[in-house]
Every structure is written in structure tokens, then in C-alpha cells.
Amino acid sequence: MRFLAWTLALAAAVGTTAQAGPVAADEPWEVRGAYGPDNSASGFDDIAAAGFNTVIKTPYLLLMDEVADAGLKAVVWLGPYNHNTCSFDRDDAWVRERVEEIAGHPAIVAYYLDDEPSRARVDGCPDAPAQLRDRSNLVKSIDPDNPTYLTLPAGDGVESYPYQHFADSADIIGLVVYPCNHVNGCGFDHIERAIDEADADGIDRYWAIIQTFQDDWYKMPTYEEIRDQLDIWTDSRMEGYFMYDWSGLSSFAPDDLAALGSRFVDVPRGAIFQEGIEWLASQGVTLGCNPPLNDRYCPDSPVTRGQMAAFLVRALGYADSGSANFFLDDDNSLFEADIDKIRAAGVTLGCNPPLNDRYCPDSPVTRGQMAAFLFRALR
């Protein structure tokens, strides 16, 4: 099955008519959400049109049906936790009634327990982490198939990145990092620190909260700065993200919005090969087509034989370069080492039979050659 996955994904890479590349069946739902609502009648039509697939809704069956009918997913809001009373505004009976009505609904991706409760812990509610854990257990006793979720800020007024206190209070933690302000500009190292702290503090699963708003302190990130945030998060264990909030995104052009969240700026959400291309990037099979920036994939450009060698080496882990300089025409090629590795593995024979002392690294890969490459590599 893994060989089949590589075959289909590599087929997408070289631009065949294969559909989008595979994602493992046990991979969690890839959340691409935006805090809304938008100005449409449903509150999410514009968000959906921009390529996002997850919205936040309250726990009512009618709303879950509307979200499902639109082909979207919902994070179901069950909060808040009241910092003044050190208790939830909604009691257990209300939660039980609401969750029982919608449990197992196909629209549900998670139950949202509270937004940034960490400040409550230092403001006189030391039991907040345990109370949220108990609320999570209640929800999961009714709907065991869907996870619980809460968000945590980068600081609680006492310590920075206080994730450890709430690590087991919900199944998924939304890591809230707003790196851009009017005084200091954008400090993207704050995102890197949050990722490191989440690893150190035992956060098993997390989503990123991306800054797309402004106020008196925070500045609105530019389009490029929003992509910079996403690029850093993409290299982490992040399983999805939410933009906060839609109002900051609504002024961007539709094509720019479609490209947000894509690994490459020239592969927008919904593009025919987008899923396969992003899977290749996530596995390290492709790096991009415009080094050193590598924010483009060039999906409509042909793949050269040299590039194909690099794809195969990264995908299948060939390490042996052999002891010979196999080909006469690859000495100045960026891909010479990769070419030698696939020759040593018997994946290529050359491009000028029967002599086969040339590889033709700059020539495009034909569909017939691709079949031969994959046949030798995967049989």
C-alpha cells in the first residue's frame, strides 16, 4: 500500500492525469478554519468560498445540518468558562442535552470547551485545568468519536507558554500566537518558541491560530506575513489551523485567499493536484522550484529527468551512489548525486541505449519513461 501511495503521488508530481495524491486513511481531518461569521446569510458562505473548510457553530442540530449540507465541518462551541465565578456558564445538564442531540453528526470535527482559560488559573481559579478536563470527559462519554478542543495563549500574565497546566484538559489545543504588533513588527520566533514549548510540555495534538486581525496593539499582518506564519507552522506537528479572524481576511482578493494555507503560492486550495503536491512536500519529496525561497512548485512546468532522480531519491531513500561516474553528461548537474544513486539502484539505465553513457538530465520525463522509472523502483 505504501508503494502504491508513492506511485500515485509521484504521478501527480510529474503532471499525469492521476487525481490528487493520497492522504493516509488514519490521518486526522485537516482543519482549515476561520473565526467568523462572515457577512453572508449563513455566516459562512464567504468563508467557504475562500477555501476554508471548518467553521465554529453552537450545538444545535439545525446548525450542524446546515454546515454538513455546505460540505463543511464544525467546531462546536460549548463555553465559556467564567473567570469570575470559576465555573462554566453552562452546567453539565445543558452540555449533556446539547451533545446528546448532535453526537456523531458528520459535521462535527471537535467540541470547543473554552477560549484561552489559562488566565483564569492565575486569576484565582486554580482548579480550571481539572474542571476543563472533567468537562472534556463528560463530552466524550456522550460522543466518544469526536475530540475536545480549547485554545491557549502565549502567556497568562505570569509565565510564557503555560501549556503544561492544560496539556490533558482537552484532546486538541489551539496554540494562540499573534506575532505582529505596531511597535515591534512581526516576531515570527514567537511561533517557533510555541512549537518547542508544545513539544516540551506534552501537547499531543494541536492546531495553530493564525493572526489575521489588528487592534490598538496588534497590527494587521500583510498577505506575505500571514503566509510566513503558515510556513513556520507547516513545519511543525500542527494538524490544522484557524485564522483569527475573518474580518481581516475579507479584503484580500479571492485568488490570494485560495492560496492561503497552501504550501506553495502557485498551488491554490482546490487545484486538481493540490493535495498530491502538498503531500509530496510534507514527506520531503519536493522542496519547491525556486530555491532558496522555495515558495513555488511550478505545477505546469515539465519535470526534467534530473528532477525525477531527486524525487525518487527523497521518496525511496536511496543512499548508495556506487563507485563509478556512470554518465558523461551530468557532471555539471545539480542532481548528479541523485542520478548516480538511482543508477546504482537500477532505477535508470541511461538515455542513449545501447551505450547508455548519458542520462540527459535536462530533458523532460515522458510518460513512458515515468512508467519505467516507477516499475524499476517499486517492483
pLDDT per position in the chain (379 positions), as tens?
A: 344 444 445 554 454 333 333 333 333 337 989 999 999 999 999 998 887 899 999 999 999 999 999 999 999 999 999 999 999 999 999 999 999 999 999 999 999 999 999 999 989 999 999 999 999 999 999 999 999 999 999 999 899 999 999 999 999 999 999 999 999 999 999 999 999 999 999 999 999 999 999 999 999 999 989 989 988 998 899 999 999 999 999 888 877 887 776 678 788 766 788 888 888 887 889 988 988 778 789 999 999 999 999 999 999 999 998 877 899 999 999 999 999 999 999 999 999 999 999 999 999 999 999 999 999 998 8
User: If residue 208 lies in a helix (H) or strand (E), which one and from where to where?
Assistant: strand 206-211
**Cβ–Cβ under 8 Å, residues 269 and 261:** yes
Q: Identify the pLDDT of residue 261.
A: 63
Q: Three-class SS string for 226-289? A: HHHHHHHHHCCCCCEEEEECHHHHCCCCHHHHHHCCCCCCCCCCCCCCHHHHHHHHHCCCCCCC
DSSP string, 303-320: PBHHHHHHHHHHHH----
Query: For the chain, which residues make up each domain, given as ranges?
Result: 1-21+273-379, 27-271
The rounded distance, in Å, linking the Cα atoms of 170 and 168 is: 6
Cell of 156: 497568562
**Cβ–Cβ under 8 Å, residues 212 and 174:** no
Q: Identify the pLDDT of residue 10.
A: 54
The rounded distance, in Å, linking the Cα atoms of 106 and 86 is: 33
Q: Identify the pLDDT of residue 340.
A: 94
Q: Identify the pLDDT of residue 323.
A: 79
User: If residue 88 lies in a helix (H) or strand (E), which one and from where to where?
Assistant: strand 87-88
**Cβ–Cβ under 8 Å, residues 276 and 311:** no
CA 163 to each of CA 153, 169, 199, 260: distance values in angstroms, whole numbers, following the listed order: 9, 10, 10, 27
Cell of 261: 494555507
The rounded distance, in Å, linking the Cα atoms of 226 and 211 is: 7
Task: Count CB atoms within 10 A of the CB of residue 300.
Answer: 7
Largest distance between two CA atoms of the chain: 83
Q: Identify the pLDDT of residue 269.
A: 67
Domain 27-271 has CATH 3.20.20.80: yes
Q: Identify the pLDDT of residue 51.
A: 79
Q: What are phi and psi of 370, to 5 degrees?
A: -60, -45
